[in-house]
């Protein structure tokens, strides 16, 4: 990709459920609006629990039912250069936000935000971790991320048109 105008990193704990789901959903939204050349996205985890592993099978199954293919994504841990490279680092919950802020160089702290800030109607303050729950948790994550992606798209369009 030639010098994207804006760069977004989605961050959860292990990079196998929420953040790859967010990456897959937002990728589709960018593709639908022909913005893939202007916006770079990626996902990472605050922990290195699943290096180079594909997304959780349950996440993939529920996402695929909605037309999102995540099979090509692989887990990685956040690295120091991510704070410099990305314009926005979106965490899924307060614990991961605290971990990211603790590690983030002070000059980049304003880049760290929560994905739930972009929800348009839902009152959730976080995207909850579905890992230890059942099917409903994965569906809830998809619902919240799809909604937050709409708000994030409006924000991103303003950034790439600036």
Q: 């937050």: which residue's tokens? A: 148
- Of 12, 42, 56, 97, catalytic: 12
Tokens read off for 116: 């739930």
Measured CA distances, 54 to 7, 47, 59, 62 (Å): 22, 15, 10, 14
104 tagged catalytic: no
82 tagged catalytic: no
- Of 42, 56, 82, 129, catalytic: 129
Count CB atoms within 10 A of the CB of residue 160.
Answer: 15
129 tagged catalytic: yes
- Of 3, 7, 18, 143, catalytic: 18
Question: SS3 breakdown of the chain: % helix, strand, coil, rounded to 5?
Answer: 50, 15, 40
* Catalytic center residues: 12, 18, 129
């Amino acid at each position: 990709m030639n010098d994207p105008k804006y760069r977004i990193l989605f961050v959860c704990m292990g990079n196998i459920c929420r953040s790859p789901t967010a990456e897959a959903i937002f990728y589709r939204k960018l593709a639908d609006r022909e913005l893939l050349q202007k916006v770079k996205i990626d996902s990472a985890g605050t922990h290195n629990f699943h290096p180079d592993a594909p997304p959780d099978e349950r996440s993939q199954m529920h996402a695929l039912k909605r037309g999102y293919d995540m099979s090509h994504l692989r887990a990685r841990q956040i690295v120091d250069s991510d704070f410099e490279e990305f314009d926005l680092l979106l965490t899924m919950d307060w614990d991961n936000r605290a971990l990211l802020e603790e590690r983030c160089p002070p000059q980049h702290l304003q880049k760290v935000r929560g994905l739930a800030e972009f929800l348009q109607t839902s009152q959730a303050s976080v995207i909850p971790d579905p890992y230890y729950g059942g099917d409903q948790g994965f569906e809830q994550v998809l619902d919240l991320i799809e909604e937050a992606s709409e708000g994030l798209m409006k924000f991103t369009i303003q950034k790439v048109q600036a």
